């Protein structure tokens, strides 16, 4: 009986709804890639690389790849914003479900606790500014200020999901627009975008080096 009640509570959580939204967005992305691959294989491969860059290098890397490959402002901003929403929905929901002990997988638990520790470092600074503080945190162009950490901070601050995600996604959209115009300026005037992208990816990977080492060496 207890197991059944726990299952009902799990299915009623907002994180379960958010997880389903993320999975649905992933499905649409996969179907779109499959549908357009025959006629637009090069574009699909480019956008797949952008997705990989978002996953491992952050939004700046993904946006830079779009600009470097000559995609329009509308496609660059729209596609990168879609990816950020997808990643936040999946990461936020799985992390919070793990923190609440609904998901007990070792790898997921480790990642969720690491995100929680990182979010707690900035919680106090953002709390006094509320929604505006979270918006500015997510918008800031720094490696630790992305929407995933921002959404976890919103959870720790006990924001309602609508309040949390409105600040997180509006900050993300603003940051994407700023990065898009910044990288376009570099591409048009300075031609150094490749070096900046390489530096961004290297710094992001370097910032995760310790966590990766700990994860694969701990008992």
How do residues 75-86 score in pLDDT, each as one tens digit?
A: 999 999 999 999
In this predicted structure, the answer to whether residue 143 has a pLDDT above a threshold of 70 is no
Q: Indicate the Cα dihedral angle 23, 37, 187, 136, nearest 10°.
A: -10
Tell me the whole-structure pTM to 2 decimals.
0.81
pLDDT higher than 90, residue 117: no
Q: Which residues contact 38 (CB under 8 A, 6 or more apart)?
A: none
String of b and e for 7-29 (b: at least 16 CB within 10 Å)?
eeeeeeeebeebbeebeebeeeb
Among 36-45, 58-67, 84-93, 202-211, which is the least confidently predicted range? 202-211
Residue 2 has pLDDT above 50, yes or no: no
Rounded CA-CA distance 17/26 in Å is 14
CA distance linking residue 11 with residue 5, whole number of Å:
10
Q: What is the mean pLDDT of residues 188-192?
A: 64
């Amino acid at each position: 009986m207890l197991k059944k009640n726990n299952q009902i509570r799990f299915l009623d959580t907002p994180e379960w709804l958010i997880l389903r939204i993320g999975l649905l967005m992933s499905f649409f992305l996969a179907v779109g890639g499959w549908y357009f691959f025959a006629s637009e294989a090069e574009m699909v491969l480019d956008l797949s690389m952008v997705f990989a860059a978002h996953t491992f290098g952050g939004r700046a890397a993904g946006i830079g790849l779009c600009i470097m490959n000559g995609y329009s402002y509308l496609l660059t901003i729209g596609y990168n914003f879609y990816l950020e929403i997808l990643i936040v929905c999946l990461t936020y929901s799985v992390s919070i479900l793990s923190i609440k002990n609904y998901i007990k997988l070792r790898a997921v638990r480790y990642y969720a606790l690491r995100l929680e520790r990182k979010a707690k470092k900035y919680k106090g600074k953002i709390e006094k500014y509320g929604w505006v503080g979270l918006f500015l945190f997510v918008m800031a162009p720094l490696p630790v200020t992305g929407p995933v950490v921002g959404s976890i901070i919103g959870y720790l601050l006990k924001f309602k999901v609508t309040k949390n995600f409105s600040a997180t996604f509006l900050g993300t959209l603003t940051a994407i627009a700023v990065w898009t115009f910044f990288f376009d300026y570099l591409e048009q005037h300075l031609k150094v975008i490749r070096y900046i992208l390489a530096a961004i990816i290297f710094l992001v990977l370097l910032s995760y080096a310790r966590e990766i080492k700990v994860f694969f060496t701990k008992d």
